[in-house]
Amino acid sequence: MKSLKKWWPTPIRSLFLFLVWLLLNNSVEFFHLFFGVVLAWLIPQLIHKFRLVQPGMKSPGTALRYGLMVLWDIVVANMQVVRLVVGPNKRLRPAFIKVPLDLKDNLSITFLASTVSLTPGTVSAEVSPLNAGGDEPRYLLVHVLDLADEAELIQQIKERYEAPLKEIF
Protein backbone atom coordinates (compact mmCIF):
# COMPACT_ATOMS: atom_id res chain seq x y z
CA MET A 1 0.00 0.00 0.00
CA LYS A 2 2.84 2.35 0.87
CA SER A 3 4.71 1.70 -2.37
CA LEU A 4 1.45 2.21 -4.25
CA LYS A 5 1.15 5.68 -2.75
CA LYS A 6 4.74 6.39 -3.65
CA TRP A 7 4.39 5.36 -7.27
CA TRP A 8 0.94 6.83 -7.80
CA PRO A 9 0.62 9.81 -5.46
CA THR A 10 -2.63 10.92 -7.08
CA PRO A 11 -4.36 7.88 -8.59
CA ILE A 12 -7.46 9.74 -9.81
CA ARG A 13 -5.37 12.36 -11.59
CA SER A 14 -3.28 9.62 -13.19
CA LEU A 15 -6.41 7.88 -14.45
CA PHE A 16 -7.71 11.19 -15.78
CA LEU A 17 -4.45 11.90 -17.63
CA PHE A 18 -4.51 8.40 -19.07
CA LEU A 19 -8.05 8.86 -20.37
CA VAL A 20 -7.32 12.31 -21.81
CA TRP A 21 -4.27 10.87 -23.59
CA LEU A 22 -6.38 8.13 -25.15
CA LEU A 23 -9.02 10.66 -26.16
CA LEU A 24 -6.38 12.92 -27.72
CA ASN A 25 -5.09 10.04 -29.82
CA ASN A 26 -8.56 8.61 -30.34
CA SER A 27 -7.23 5.06 -30.26
CA VAL A 28 -6.66 2.09 -27.95
CA GLU A 29 -3.65 0.62 -29.75
CA PHE A 30 -0.98 -0.94 -27.58
CA PHE A 31 1.49 1.88 -28.23
CA HIS A 32 -0.94 4.56 -27.07
CA LEU A 33 -2.01 2.54 -24.03
CA PHE A 34 1.63 2.05 -23.06
CA PHE A 35 2.61 5.67 -23.58
CA GLY A 36 -0.53 6.78 -21.72
CA VAL A 37 0.50 4.75 -18.68
CA VAL A 38 4.00 6.23 -18.84
CA LEU A 39 2.63 9.78 -18.97
CA ALA A 40 0.05 9.10 -16.25
CA TRP A 41 2.95 8.00 -14.05
CA LEU A 42 5.53 10.61 -15.07
CA ILE A 43 3.48 13.82 -14.98
CA PRO A 44 2.17 13.42 -11.40
CA GLN A 45 5.72 12.54 -10.28
CA LEU A 46 7.11 15.70 -11.85
CA ILE A 47 4.47 18.05 -10.49
CA HIS A 48 3.99 16.39 -7.12
CA LYS A 49 6.30 18.79 -5.28
CA PHE A 50 4.48 21.86 -6.61
CA ARG A 51 1.06 20.60 -5.69
CA LEU A 52 -1.12 22.62 -3.34
CA VAL A 53 -3.16 20.31 -1.21
CA GLN A 54 -6.82 20.80 -2.11
CA PRO A 55 -9.77 19.49 -0.18
CA GLY A 56 -11.11 16.20 -1.50
CA MET A 57 -14.64 15.64 -2.66
CA LYS A 58 -16.96 14.75 0.17
CA SER A 59 -20.06 13.94 -1.77
CA PRO A 60 -19.59 12.70 -5.38
CA GLY A 61 -23.35 12.23 -5.79
CA THR A 62 -24.02 15.88 -5.10
CA ALA A 63 -21.16 16.79 -7.44
CA LEU A 64 -22.74 14.81 -10.27
CA ARG A 65 -26.14 16.39 -9.68
CA TYR A 66 -24.48 19.82 -9.52
CA GLY A 67 -22.75 19.21 -12.86
CA LEU A 68 -25.98 18.23 -14.59
CA MET A 69 -27.82 21.18 -13.09
CA VAL A 70 -25.13 23.57 -14.32
CA LEU A 71 -25.30 22.08 -17.82
CA TRP A 72 -29.05 22.67 -17.90
CA ASP A 73 -28.62 26.17 -16.49
CA ILE A 74 -26.10 26.97 -19.24
CA VAL A 75 -28.78 26.19 -21.82
CA VAL A 76 -31.38 28.34 -20.04
CA ALA A 77 -28.92 31.20 -19.44
CA ASN A 78 -28.04 31.20 -23.11
CA MET A 79 -31.63 31.65 -24.17
CA GLN A 80 -31.89 34.67 -21.85
CA VAL A 81 -28.63 36.22 -23.01
CA VAL A 82 -29.58 35.73 -26.65
CA ARG A 83 -32.88 37.49 -26.04
CA LEU A 84 -31.09 40.39 -24.36
CA VAL A 85 -28.53 40.62 -27.15
CA VAL A 86 -31.14 40.74 -29.88
CA GLY A 87 -33.24 43.36 -28.05
CA PRO A 88 -32.39 47.06 -27.92
CA ASN A 89 -29.36 48.11 -25.84
CA LYS A 90 -31.41 50.70 -23.98
CA ARG A 91 -33.39 47.99 -22.24
CA LEU A 92 -30.32 46.47 -20.57
CA ARG A 93 -29.73 47.13 -16.90
CA PRO A 94 -26.06 46.26 -16.40
CA ALA A 95 -24.75 46.37 -12.83
CA PHE A 96 -21.91 45.40 -10.55
CA ILE A 97 -23.01 43.54 -7.44
CA LYS A 98 -21.20 42.03 -4.49
CA VAL A 99 -22.07 38.49 -3.48
CA PRO A 100 -20.87 37.69 0.05
CA LEU A 101 -19.09 34.33 0.21
CA ASP A 102 -19.53 31.63 2.82
CA LEU A 103 -17.12 29.29 1.05
CA LYS A 104 -13.67 29.29 2.55
CA ASP A 105 -11.17 27.47 0.37
CA ASN A 106 -9.90 28.62 -3.00
CA LEU A 107 -10.90 25.54 -4.98
CA SER A 108 -14.60 25.78 -4.20
CA ILE A 109 -14.58 29.54 -4.76
CA THR A 110 -13.02 28.89 -8.17
CA PHE A 111 -15.84 26.48 -8.96
CA LEU A 112 -18.44 29.01 -7.84
CA ALA A 113 -16.86 31.83 -9.86
CA SER A 114 -16.65 29.67 -12.99
CA THR A 115 -20.26 28.56 -12.61
CA VAL A 116 -21.38 32.15 -12.17
CA SER A 117 -19.50 33.13 -15.34
CA LEU A 118 -21.06 30.34 -17.37
CA THR A 119 -24.62 30.77 -16.15
CA PRO A 120 -27.26 33.33 -15.37
CA GLY A 121 -26.31 36.46 -17.33
CA THR A 122 -23.41 37.11 -14.98
CA VAL A 123 -19.61 37.21 -15.18
CA SER A 124 -17.56 37.01 -12.01
CA ALA A 125 -15.07 39.85 -11.94
CA GLU A 126 -13.11 39.62 -8.74
CA VAL A 127 -12.71 37.78 -5.45
CA SER A 128 -11.85 40.14 -2.67
CA PRO A 129 -9.86 40.04 -0.45
CA LEU A 130 -7.71 37.77 -2.58
CA ASN A 131 -6.14 35.69 0.17
CA ALA A 132 -7.97 33.49 2.60
CA GLY A 133 -7.37 33.75 6.32
CA GLY A 134 -8.01 37.46 6.87
CA ASP A 135 -10.70 38.71 9.22
CA GLU A 136 -12.47 40.62 6.49
CA PRO A 137 -15.42 38.74 4.99
CA ARG A 138 -14.80 37.74 1.38
CA TYR A 139 -17.08 38.56 -1.48
CA LEU A 140 -17.35 37.90 -5.20
CA LEU A 141 -17.72 40.91 -7.46
CA VAL A 142 -20.13 40.03 -10.26
CA HIS A 143 -21.08 41.90 -13.41
CA VAL A 144 -24.70 41.37 -14.39
CA LEU A 145 -25.98 41.99 -17.92
CA ASP A 146 -29.55 42.71 -16.91
CA LEU A 147 -30.27 43.17 -13.22
CA ALA A 148 -33.88 43.00 -12.11
CA ASP A 149 -33.57 42.56 -8.35
CA GLU A 150 -30.20 42.55 -6.60
CA ALA A 151 -31.26 40.76 -3.40
CA GLU A 152 -33.07 38.07 -5.38
CA LEU A 153 -30.08 37.36 -7.63
CA ILE A 154 -27.69 37.16 -4.68
CA GLN A 155 -30.03 34.75 -2.96
CA GLN A 156 -30.35 32.67 -6.12
CA ILE A 157 -26.58 32.37 -6.51
CA LYS A 158 -26.17 31.45 -2.85
CA GLU A 159 -28.96 28.89 -2.77
CA ARG A 160 -28.58 27.33 -6.17
CA TYR A 161 -24.80 27.23 -6.53
CA GLU A 162 -23.07 27.95 -3.26
CA ALA A 163 -25.13 25.63 -1.06
CA PRO A 164 -24.38 22.43 -3.07
CA LEU A 165 -20.71 23.42 -3.36
CA LYS A 166 -20.57 23.67 0.42
CA GLU A 167 -21.83 20.08 0.58
CA ILE A 168 -19.39 18.82 -2.05
CA PHE A 169 -16.18 20.18 -0.50
Partner 1 sequence: MSWLEWLVALLAVAGSLFVLLGSVALVKLPDFYTRLHGPTKATTLGLGALVLASMVYFNFVKGELNVQQLLIALFLFITAPITAHMLVKAALHLKLKTSAQTSGKQNADL
| CA triple 139-142-147, angle to 5 deg | 125
- 9/43 Cα distance (integer angstroms): 11
Spell out a b/e string for 85-99, using b for 16 or more CB atoms within 10 Å of the CB, else e. eeeeeeeeeeeebeb
Q: Which amino acid is at 30?
A: F
Residue 123 sits in the site that holds partner 1 (CB under 8 A)? yes
Residue 96 sits in the site that holds partner 1 (CB under 8 A)? yes
**Least distance from C-beta 114 to partner 1, angstroms?**
4
Residue 155 sits in the site that holds partner 1 (CB under 8 A)? no
Exactly one of 82, 132, 148, 163 binds partner 1 (CB under 8 A); that residue is: 82
Q: Which is nearer to partner 1, 45 or 160 (CB)?
A: 160
Which residues lie near partner 1 (CB under 8 A)? 20, 23-24, 26, 74-75, 77-78, 81-82, 85-86, 89-90, 92-98, 113-115, 117-119, 121, 123-126, 141, 143, 145, 147, 150
